[in-house]
């Protein structure tokens, strides 16, 4: 019986060893599969994190660009407002010229207006009383003369010279608008260097 017990014990020991080897092999397989799955999940998470980081980075860059564009637009708007205020101030100052300054301005123009015959000088409302018919008579030549109209141009400074259907506009707002159109870029360049 001892032999039988030993055989049973030997078989039990072999089975136990096989079972331990099987458990160890399965544990190694499971551990390897677990590690492989863990690495795959980590890589997926890393890829997802990189995609999210890239998306956030792209959104931030776009927001920064939008902010830069908005800032440039705000600066341009402010500069345009300053230019408009500058030209508006120029019109205001011109309308505040005293009679002598206004007369000098008008004299410089009336000597060069290409009129043959009689020209009518129509003052702007804001320049009313700054020129007289007597003052205009000094520009009378054999070819031309100027008469002062009773008509006034509402809310304007300066004057218009009219001969028939032709008008030469020397209203301050028109002169400054023309100057603004032609010289705005140059003025802005000098102002905002």
Domain chopping of the chain, boundaries: 1-96, 98-191
Average the pLDDT over each of 10-24, 34-48, 108-122 and give the range with the smallest value.
Answer: 10-24
Specify the CATH architecture of the domain 98-191: 2-Layer Sandwich (3.30)
82-121 as b/e, with b when 16 or more CB fall inside 10 Å? ebeeebeeebeebbebeeeebbebbeebbeeeebeeebbb
Residue owning tokens 């863990």: 38
Residue 1, pLDDT score: 65
pLDDT value at 191 more than 80 = no
**pLDDT 10s digits, 63-101:** 999 999 999 899 888 888 888 888 899 999 999 999 999
Q: What percent of the chain has pLDDT over 90?
A: 50
Closest listed residue to residue 131, CA positions, set 154, 116, 109: 109
Between 2 and 88, residue with greater pLDDT: 88
Running DSSP on this structure, what letter comes out for residue 171? Answer: E
Name the pTM for this structure.
0.65
């Amino acid at each position: 019986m001892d032999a039988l017990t030993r055989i049973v014990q030997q078989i039990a020991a072999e089975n136990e060893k096989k079972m331990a080897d099987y458990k160890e092999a399965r544990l190694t397989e499971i551990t390897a599969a677990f590690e492989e799955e863990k690495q795959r999940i980590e890589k997926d998470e890393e890829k997802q994190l990189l995609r999210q980081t890239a998306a956030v980075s792209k959104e931030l860059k776009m927001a920064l660009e939008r902010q830069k564009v908005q800032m440039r637009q705000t600066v341009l708007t402010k500069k345009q407002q300053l230019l408009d205020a500058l030209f508006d101030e120029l019109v205001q100052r011109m309308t505040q010229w005293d009679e002598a300054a206004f007369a000098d301005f008008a004299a410089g123009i009336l000597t060069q207006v290409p009129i043959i015959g009689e020209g009518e000088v129509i003052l702007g409302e804001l320049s009313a009383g700054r020129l007289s018919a007597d003052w205009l008579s000094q520009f009378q030549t054999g070819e031309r003369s100027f008469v002062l109209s009773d008509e006034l141009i509402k809310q304007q400074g300066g004057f218009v010279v009219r001969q028939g259907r032709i008008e030469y506009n020397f209203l301050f707002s028109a002169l400054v608008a023309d100057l603004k159109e032609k010289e705005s870029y140059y003025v802005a360049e000098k102002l905002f260097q």
